A and B are shown apart, each in its own frame.
Chain A
Amino acid sequence: MAYKPQYYPGSSSVAVNRRKHMSGDIEKLRTVSDDDLVAALGHRAPGADYPSTHPPLAEMGEPDCPIRQLVEPTPGAAAGDRVRYSQFTDSMYSAPSTPYFRSYYAAINHRGVDPGTLSGRQIVEARERDMEVYTKATIESEMTCPGLAGLRGCTVHGHSLRLDEDGTMFDMLQRVHLEGGNIIEDKDQVGVPIDRKVNLGKPMTEAEAKKRTTIYRTDGVRYRTEEEVLDHVHLVHHRRTMYGFRPENASETAAGTGDIKYHTV
């Protein structure tokens, strides 16, 4: 029987959405043109060639190497692209994604990406054209609400601040604003003005954000009601502790066996 990844425990909408993000089974909600995306990222001018740090691999005469034979280069690596980044900030007020689930999505579903996960931001570094593929898929999908998430290279503390009065995530650098019901981006990731208005589409309603979110909250799905996830966390804690101490006894004291019981408090 073929193995079918389960990805994540839990039965609530939050757990279901987490499984969707991890598996890559995400819904496309909007379209952002390639040039608009390039402008918002701010790494090169729309339409310009990709700057490269080395010649295409095919022209470099690479050494005979079993790893190189096993691993097919990504398009960006094959072309010699430089490594560039995209970084998202997600509001804690029920933005659809969270840093870890962005990273899981990137690492499981894209090749050649280097995700970094923090509390207020999540960065992916990759060869430039590979990064753009990843970013475009992310920003066009249900993982991103343009009102509650955004491309931010710096000043990312808005993730935990109260929302602005129009319901969008606070941004000190005001990279986006609401115009005619749509979120318009007119500065790049680090706040440098760009020469166009990138239309990122309508922000999700509060109800839709709560339906699509991957964060547990008291005003949404309460974390403490998700027993299967908490028990999973307890099991991870037990295993990491016991395998660093006495691995031979770890199974005897595992969740639900032996004298010690781990179950959601």
Chain B
Amino acid sequence: MTYKYPSEKIFVEALREKFAGLDLSEQKVKYVRAGYLQSARKREFQAAGERVAEKRGIKQYDANVHLGGMTLGQRQLVPYKLSTRPDIVEGDDLHYVNNPAMQQMWDDMKRTIIVGMDLAHETLEKRLGKEVTPETINGYMEAVNHTMPGAAIVQEHMVETHPGLVDDCYVKIFTGDDELADEIDPQYVININKLFDKEDQNEKLKAAIGKTTWQAVHIPTIVVRSCDGGNTSRWSAMQIGMSFIAAYNMCAGEAAVADLAFAAKHAAAIQMAEMLPARRARSPNEPGGLSFGYCADMVQTMRIKPEDPVWYTLEVVACGTMLYDQIWLGSYMSGGVGFTQYATAAYTNDVLDDFTYYGYDYALNKYGPDGTAPNDLATATDIATETTLNGMESYEDYPTLLEDHFGGSQRAGILAAASACATGIATGNAQVALSGWYMSMYVHKEGWGRLGFFGYDLQDQCGATNVCSYQGDEGECLELRGANYPNYAMNVGHQGEYAGFTGAAHAGAHDAYCCNPLVKVCFADPSLVFDFSYIRREYAKGGMRTFRPAGERSLVIPAGI
């Protein structure tokens, strides 16, 4: 096989770092049983726990509290290397509570809403006879960027928010109309031509967006940390309405204001995530309603490095697994400390990268360029079987790799994700990729006589029956499925991967977006706090304690702790 990409055991370097000085292929080892003392982070936790207990008079963290007083960490506690990065962190640094970059990624999604301007402009022009020009739009953008963070406009003597606490809040504009974009003050424009300058992605996006005009609104992080995601549209719409009143010298009480408000809140508003039904009861812009297609569109690596679809795909996996496994299922749904290590397996130590590049190369050699393999079950069967067998053999040949992915659910997620991502890139079709996922699960289970936890018996054994179904209550194209799709609603280790191979299909087809061009453009904005082009780099910065998030209260609280 001729390799196009470096897919030959690239996880070995990470294993050497983790298991320093040990033979990676040795099946036996002397276990030192050094407990928590072997980890700098655990020692830090132990000391911090003692300080907390002393300060408040109530016991807290104690690594010695375990079965019969035995400490956790009786085997070698190994660190984690962020995939594609040189950065090595402790596992604890990848829990979202300990990682401000992870928090900010979700905050940036949750605080975003895309609001169309055309309905409002039509109301102003046709109903009120006012003129809308690039100059008036610039005036509006100035007003809305003043007021969106929580400043007063129109009304006097109003309480306002401290600008320093909400410095991450702003509104930008984007359109498929080059003439209009050229006339808007550049500080307010998301420049599609410049940001999507590879493989004609800018032309594809502009063609999809057409002459329509949109606002990318990011309300303050500190607001969504106090309120739910449903507040984003309401906070945004109120400030948008007031800005229109100010920019177009309207009467604050005239009936047309209701039309502007309705457009901003409903008719022209695009939530990042759909509202969930009563049994799961979450507002819009909460993670359970985020479709895989939108998640894939938020990640930007496809425009940075379109020639390497695997890279983009695995950035989507990193984004999705953290959000869906660590935050959504791990905290919103399950509670407790959550499911961090289901997710970290997918974005650390270059394992998924290695397996996916292998499958990708296999497909390239057998079927030709990206997106050209036949869209059928035979392709899914072929690529997924070979990719899964290769991954299983890697676990068998490298006992330290098997030890790194010590849980079957981790291994199942990684093997199936690699299979599905490779299939998606090869075919350019997310449904065929999904079929590859299930193929991998069957191959894995039968080879080792084990798979993941109980849930894998549910969705991974029956899920194939819904691959080709497009009926709303049974299936859907994968781009529109999401964390609340019935079969996927309870199972960690899956949803981020589904988002990943949704992206894989479109990266393989060399599209400019996966599901919604507006979402793709909105998250290309370099002014966002979290950089959606480099998900794993940002996580690494969070783990290394060098990421600076928004929404901090330092300005209004005493210094120190």
Residues of A near any B CB (own CB < 8 A): 18, 92-93, 97-101, 116-120, 154-155, 157, 160-165, 167, 170, 172-173, 190-192, 214-219, 223-224, 229-230, 232-234, 236-238, 240-241, 243-246, 253, 260-262, 264-265
**Chain A residue at minimum C-beta to C-beta distance from B438:** A237
Contact partner of B385 (CB less than 8 A), chosen from A92, A245, A265, is A265
Q: Is the interface of B mostly helix, strand, loop or mixed?
A: helix
Could you write out 16 A-B pairs with CB less than 8 Å apart? A93-B399, A98-B450, A100-B445, A118-B453, A119-B407, A119-B453, A120-B408, A120-B450, A160-B402, A160-B407, A164-B31, A190-B67, A216-B447, A223-B392, A237-B442, A241-B467
| Bound form: Cα–Cα A18–B448 in Å | 11
**Chain A residue at minimum C-beta to C-beta distance from B404:** A160
Query: CB distance B70 to A172 under 8 Å?
Result: yes
| Nearest CB in chain A: distance from B229 CB, A | 33
Contact partner of A219 (CB less than 8 A), chosen from B31, B396, B449, B454, is B396
**Chain B residue at minimum C-beta to C-beta distance from A91:** B27
**Chain A residue at minimum C-beta to C-beta distance from B463:** A240
Query: CB distance A215 to B449 under 8 Å?
Result: yes
- B17 contacts the other chain (Cβ, under 8 Å)? no
Query: CB distance A162 to B29 under 8 Å?
Result: yes
- B179 contacts the other chain (Cβ, under 8 Å)? no
Of residues 392 to 450 in B, which have CB atoms within 8 Å of A's CB atoms? 392-393, 396-397, 399-400, 402-403, 405-409, 411-412, 435, 438-439, 442-443, 445-450
- B382 contacts the other chain (Cβ, under 8 Å)? yes
Which residues of chain B are within 8 angstroms of A116 by Cβ–Cβ distance? 454
Query: CB distance A238 to B377 under 8 Å?
Result: yes
Which residues of chain A are within 8 angstroms of B442 by Cβ–Cβ distance? 233, 236-237
| Nearest CB in chain A: distance from B29 CB, A | 5
- B258 contacts the other chain (Cβ, under 8 Å)? no
Contact partner of B378 (CB less than 8 A), chosen from A170, A192, A262, is A262
| Nearest CB in chain A: distance from B353 CB, A | 21
Query: CB distance A119 to B412 under 8 Å?
Result: yes
Which residues of chain B are within 8 angstroms of A224 by Cβ–Cβ distance? 389, 393
Which residues of chain B are within 8 angstroms of A233 by Cβ–Cβ distance? 442-443, 446
Query: CB distance A260 to B377 under 8 Å?
Result: yes
Contact partner of A241 (CB less than 8 A), chosen from B31, B411, B435, is B435
- B126 contacts the other chain (Cβ, under 8 Å)? no
Query: CB distance B68 to A192 under 8 Å?
Result: yes
| Nearest CB in chain B: distance from A125 CB, A | 13
Which residues of chain B are within 8 angstroms of A238 by Cβ–Cβ distance? 377, 381
Q: Which 8 A-B pairs have the closest CB atoms?
A: A119-B408, A244-B465, A98-B449, A245-B468, A240-B464, A172-B74, A223-B447, A100-B449
**Chain B residue at minimum C-beta to C-beta distance from A168:** B28
| Bound form: Cα–Cα A130–B390 in Å | 41
| Bound form: Cα–Cα A231–B409 in Å | 24
Query: CB distance B397 to A165 under 8 Å?
Result: no
| Given A116-B454, A223-B447, A240-B438, A165 contacting B29 (CB threshold 8 A) | yes
| Bound form: Cα–Cα A72–B449 in Å | 32
Which residues of chain A are within 8 angstroms of B457 by Cβ–Cβ distance? 117
Query: CB distance B443 to A118 under 8 Å?
Result: no
| Bound form: Cα–Cα A162–B396 in Å | 11
- B452 contacts the other chain (Cβ, under 8 Å)? yes
| Given A172-B75, A223-B392, A98 contacting B448 (CB threshold 8 A) | yes
| Nearest CB in chain A: distance from B418 CB, A | 15
Query: CB distance B447 to A170 under 8 Å?
Result: no
- B331 contacts the other chain (Cβ, under 8 Å)? no
| Nearest CB in chain B: distance from A143 CB, A | 12
Query: CB distance B75 to A161 under 8 Å?
Result: yes
| Given A118-B452, A216-B448, A218-B393, A241 contacting B377 (CB threshold 8 A) | yes
Query: CB distance B382 to A165 under 8 Å?
Result: no
- B156 contacts the other chain (Cβ, under 8 Å)? no
| Bound form: Cα–Cα A117–B407 in Å | 13
**Chain B residue at minimum C-beta to C-beta distance from A117:** B457
Query: CB distance A191 to B381 under 8 Å?
Result: no
**Chain B residue at minimum C-beta to C-beta distance from A21:** B449
Residue from B30, B439, B446 having most chain A Cβ neighbours under 10 A: B446
- B212 contacts the other chain (Cβ, under 8 Å)? no
| Bound form: Cα–Cα A10–B406 in Å | 28
Query: CB distance A120 to B378 under 8 Å?
Result: no
Residue from A119, A161, A218, A224 having most chain B Cβ neighbours under 10 A: A119
| Nearest CB in chain B: distance from A75 CB, A | 28
Query: CB distance B386 to A265 under 8 Å?
Result: yes
20 more CB-based (< 8 A) A-B contacts, given A120-B406, A240-B461:
A98-B448, A99-B449, A119-B450, A120-B450, A155-B67, A160-B411, A163-B27, A163-B29, A164-B28, A170-B31, A172-B70, A190-B67, A215-B449, A233-B446, A234-B439, A237-B438, A240-B464, A241-B465, A243-B465, A262-B381
| Nearest CB in chain B: distance from A8 CB, A | 10
Query: CB distance B406 to A162 under 8 Å?
Result: no
Contact partner of A229 (CB less than 8 A), chosen from B381, B446, B461, is B446
| Bound form: Cα–Cα A35–B71 in Å | 31
Which residues of chain B are within 8 angstroms of A246 by Cβ–Cβ distance? 468
**Chain B residue at minimum C-beta to C-beta distance from A172:** B74
| Bound form: Cα–Cα A101–B442 in Å | 15
| Given A100-B450, A172-B70, A233-B443, A118 contacting B378 (CB threshold 8 A) | no
